[in-house]
Amino acid sequence: MVQVLWTDLGTLGYRKAWQMQQDLMAGLIAGKPAESPATGYLLLVEHPHVYTLGRNGNRSNMLASAAQLQAGQAELVEVDRGGDITYHGPGQLVVYPVVRLSDLGVGIREYVHRLEEVVVRTAADCGVSCGRMEKAAGVWVDANTRKARKVCAIGIRCSHAVAMHGFALNVSADLTRFNAINPCGFTDRGVTSLEKETGQKIDIEEVKRLVRRHFSDVFGVTLVKLMGITQLGVSPATCT
């Protein structure tokens, strides 16, 4: 069975995690790690407050001024993933698979579908029924209704059959932070979190465990834990 190495990065700045993914992607494209059966990596992380704008995004969907962002201790980062604008911050679990799609036996469309399935199953285990919405990537509560609200955003980049970026699942995130943007470019759809939907405190560590289990099941891979960031083989400056 294909092995995917995973690690929990704790809280890490967005730019450092982005550089880490790029380093890992470059290694996989170059054929590394050739000495192991691993086909990729799974990074779990929370970010300090940040807004990210995808390569096809519309900057007008950022509603806050630079001064307002600074006052909120946040920044706007233009990135190389698909999708429009979204928010990352404490209480949101961000999951970055850096994987060879060819080794997983999937194309881009099926890969995104399976990432959504990982989230759907995870949310269900937390007591939240979710689904997909037509012509809108991500995972939604009350999908395809007027009350549709997004609980998880998805955006990826793929090069030479290697994917990076991933999904951001709102566990207990401060949803007021989304007021600064048109989330994912939508002006008529809301956002939500697992805690808001259940009205109960949800342990993000338990959500991490569920995500790992369902990622393994949905993609048919074995997850192998890395004992430390340095084992990733990326530039030391990226890890600190």
Q: What is the mean pLDDT of each run of 10 residues along the chain (240 residues)?
A: 92 97 93 64 97 91 91 94 93 97 94 97 97 89 92 96 97 94 78 97 98 97 82 61
Q: Is 2 part of any domain?
A: no
Whole-number pLDDT of residue 52: 95
Residues 6+ apart with CB under 8 A from 47: 11, 12, 13, 14, 17, 88, 89, 92, 94
Q: Is 194 part of any domain?
A: yes
Q: Is 80 part of any domain?
A: yes
Task: Cite the active site residues.
Answer: 184
Query: Nearest to residue 216, comparing CAs of 25, 28, 6?
Result: 6
**CATH at 168:** 3.30.930.10
Q: Is 19 part of any domain?
A: no
Whole-number pLDDT of residue 230: 59
Q: Is 146 part of any domain?
A: yes
pTM of the predicted model as reported, rounded to 2 decimal places: 0.92
Distance CA 93, CA 81 (A): 18
Domains in the chain, number: 1
Q: Is 209 part of any domain?
A: yes
Phi and psi at residue 92, to the nearest 5°: -115, 125
Which tokens go with 198?
A: 């259940």
Q: By residue range, what is the domain housing residue 174?
A: 45-219
Residues 6+ apart with CB under 8 A from 115: 97, 154, 156, 166, 167
Cα distances from 115 to residues 93, 98, 100, 118, 180, in angstroms, run: 14, 12, 14, 5, 27
Whole-number pLDDT of residue 101: 94
Phi and psi at residue 181, to the nearest 5°: -140, 165
Whole-number pLDDT of residue 89: 97
Q: What is the DSSP letter of 180?
A: G
